[in-house]
Chains A and B, each alone.
Chain A
Amino acid sequence: MGFLVVAAGVSILTTIGIVVSLLLPAIQFFREVSITEFLTGTSWTPRFQDPTFGVLPLITGTMWTTAIALSVSIPIGLGAAIYLSEYASTRTRKIFKPTLELLAGVPSVVYGLFAVTFVGPVVLKEWLGIEVATFSVLAAGLVLGVMIIPTVASLAEDAMSAVPRALREASYGLGANRMRTVLRVVFPAAVSGIAAAIVLGLSRAVGETMIVAMAAGSQAKMVTDPLEGGQTMTGFIASAALGDSVQGSLQYNTLFAVGLTLFVLTLIINIISIRLVNRFREIY
């Protein structure tokens, strides 16, 4: 019994561990760099002779890749979810649902390689004639979006499948066809779960590292053109972790300051998601 309680306590210890291990080096960092400079500066050059520590370029990088990813994964994820939940036969669902979920199982480094060797140079440049740079925010964001499709689809489908059959039958009984029933009855009834699915997709897009580290480039600048490269928060952490910076140095602590920013951001997103679910929850 004691073991069970201790095991349950591990999750609390993990949270405390994360906060402490991020906060201590981050506090060191903010002793040398003011929080205002960090949060409002538009130049990020921590490795230069004369370093600047404005995190906004990394945040714009993350916002661009996330926005592109969501513009792919929300419509396609929801479309697939509606099809699987409302139109597909049991047999079709049994085949296609696991296949779609496999998209989430593909390792992110494999997606990264796919973005660099195929989506950027072949799909965007050759087939669509879009002049993207070797590393581009667009290619990284698109592939990131594909990775998140199953996250959105799976949760949204669960939410729609949980809507009682009686609601649909009442709608058919009133003369509505399937499309009307889906859009006017099932969708609104499942809106809390669908919102949670989108917010979870958002948090995964913000936190994903390898695709953006491999495909978005490593130049931290205010991103204005998605056809060019840019660096995200996670991309910076990954590339800075590769360079051997001395523990306790300002450069090493920079990593944790960005890590803390990322952690706080995803925490806020998660709290919003829990609130959304509670606020719109329908009880059947």
Chain B
Amino acid sequence: MAAITAEPTAVTRPLTAASHGERNPQSLIFLILLWASLAFGILVLVVLLVNTFLEGRSRMDAALFTNYTSQIDPATAGARAAILGTAWVIGTTALLAIPIGVAAAAYLEEFASKTSRFARLVELNVQNLAAVPAIIYGMLAAAAAVAVGIPRNTVIAGGIALALLILPVVIVATREALRAVPQEIRQGSLALGASPMQTLTRQTLPAAVPGIATGTILALSRAMGEAAPLLLLGGLVFVKFDPNGLLSGFTTMPIQIFDWAGRSQVAFQELAAAASILLLVLVIAMNGLAIIIRNKFTTGQ
């Protein structure tokens, strides 16, 4: 009898100890600290958004979109050249980075043998390039533009700088998306007589599109907010014309914000905040789109 009653207590004792353990002061303080860390991050984000909105609200007007920047008059200055310039440069970046990044990832994931020296070298390079500071890419683009004899401060030079910057991100995202495509799809396609290339373009890549889109949109939204590499191209801070081609001069929204924020008049800082609101709306919209695509296509699996 004694032996039988002893058994349940032997089993329950550690269990009750564990559940009591969750409520001891140490554990509670630990949990509160964890919770506070997360809350701090979210709180700063909210404060940043609200503060930018309050500062820039007065200049969220039509002039911001239609007028060019000004050296002296903040009241009529706008970000027209910067908005159009951002569209041109990000368009160029996307046209360069997406095909090259997807092709490089497809090579590494679908064709390269595990023992290929070239493939290992590429992988090592991608890994290292991901950690290179953004501003270094500006130095590369500036030197490259001079080497081929085009002016540094052109849309194409900016596009190349940003495309090389986000290339590692596009490659990594595409490789992950390709890896998630079930092997049976490839085998089925090959068994029906498709060539490896046909299998890639008609089966594997289309199946990986949601993953590639998520990664690419996030990478482009990062490129859109990046100013550092473009500073190295020179002559971008004061532009009063619409860009009209790959060899045209340009400025972008982050650079315009940087220029305005550095001026002494408060009205220019309000203008910088107004342009920041615009940039934040674009970036948050792109992040939201990426999350929606990710959620939509991962719940099915």
Taking Cβ atoms with an 8 Å cutoff, the residues of A that contact B are: 1, 3-12, 14-15, 17-18, 20-22, 24-25, 75-80, 82-84, 87, 94, 96, 98-103, 105-114, 116-118, 146, 149-150, 153, 172-180, 200, 203, 206-210, 213-214, 234, 237-238, 241-242, 244, 247, 255-256, 259, 262-263, 266-267, 269-270, 273-274
In this complex, what residue of A is CB-closest to B99?
A7
| B301 within 8 A of partner (CB) | no
Known: A82-B34, A102-B284, A179-B30. A15 touches B125 (CB 8 A): yes
Contacts A98-B291, A210-B258 known; 5 new A-B pairs at CB < 8 A: A107-B279, A107-B283, A209-B134, A209-B231, A259-B136
Residue contact B232 to A14, C-beta cutoff 8 Å: no
In this complex, what residue of B is CB-closest to A118?
B51
Residue contact B38 to A80, C-beta cutoff 8 Å: yes
Residues in chain B near residue A106, CB distance under 8 A = 45, 48, 225, 280, 283
Interface size class of chain B, counting residues whose CB lies under 8 Å from the partner chain: 35 or more
Residue contact A22 to B104, C-beta cutoff 8 Å: no
Main secondary structure of the interface of A (DSSP, over half): helix
Residue contact B232 to A241, C-beta cutoff 8 Å: yes
Query: Nearest Cβ in chain B — how far from A28, in angstroms?
Result: 13
8 contacts between A and B (CB under 8 A): A9-B122, A25-B143, A78-B37, A87-B31, A105-B225, A177-B21, A179-B27, A242-B231
- Tell me, in angstroms, the Cα distance from A178 to B20 when the chains sit together: 11
B window 101-152: CB within 8 A of A? 101, 103-104, 106-108, 111-112, 118-119, 121-122, 125-129, 131-140, 142-144, 146
The number of residue pairs between A and B whose CB atoms lie closer than 8 Å in the complex comes to 270
| B254 within 8 A of partner (CB) | yes
Partner of A274, one of B30, B125, B127, B262: B127
Partner of A105, one of B119, B122, B222: B222
In this complex, what residue of A is CB-closest to B56?
A113
Residues in chain A near residue B21, CB distance under 8 A = 175-180
Residue contact A4 to B34, C-beta cutoff 8 Å: no
Q: Mask for B17-43, Cβ within 8 A of A = 1, else 0?
A: 110011010110011011111101110
- Tell me, in angstroms, the Cα distance from A105 to B122 when the chains sit together: 27
Residues in chain A near residue B104, CB distance under 8 A = 4, 7-8, 10-11
In this complex, what residue of B is CB-closest to A72?
B40
Residues in chain B near residue A1, CB distance under 8 A = 111, 197
Residues in chain A near residue B111, CB distance under 8 A = 1, 4
Residues in chain B near residue A208, CB distance under 8 A = 133
Partner of B131, one of A110, A146, A209, A269: A269
In this complex, what residue of A is CB-closest to B139?
A259
Known: A84-B38, A237-B232. A117 touches B269 (CB 8 A): yes
Taking Cβ atoms with an 8 Å cutoff, the residues of B that contact A are: 14, 17-18, 21-22, 24, 26-27, 30-31, 33-38, 40-42, 44-45, 47-48, 51-52, 55, 99-101, 103-104, 106-108, 111-112, 118-119, 121-122, 125-129, 131-140, 142-144, 146, 164, 167-168, 171, 197, 218, 221-222, 224-228, 231-232, 234-235, 237, 254-255, 257-258, 261-262, 269, 272-273, 276, 279-280, 283-284, 287, 291, 295
Residues in chain B near residue A247, CB distance under 8 A = 146
- Tell me, in angstroms, the Cα distance from A5 to B146 when the chains sit together: 27
Residue contact A105 to B167, C-beta cutoff 8 Å: no
Residue contact A22 to B139, C-beta cutoff 8 Å: yes
- Tell me, in angstroms, the Cα distance from A209 to B99 when the chains sit together: 28
Residue contact B261 to A109, C-beta cutoff 8 Å: yes
Residue contact A113 to B261, C-beta cutoff 8 Å: yes
Residue contact A259 to B135, C-beta cutoff 8 Å: yes
Residue contact B107 to A14, C-beta cutoff 8 Å: no
Residue contact A109 to B276, C-beta cutoff 8 Å: yes
Query: Nearest Cβ in chain A — how far from B110, in angstroms?
Result: 8
Query: Nearest Cβ in chain A — how far from B222, in angstroms?
Result: 7
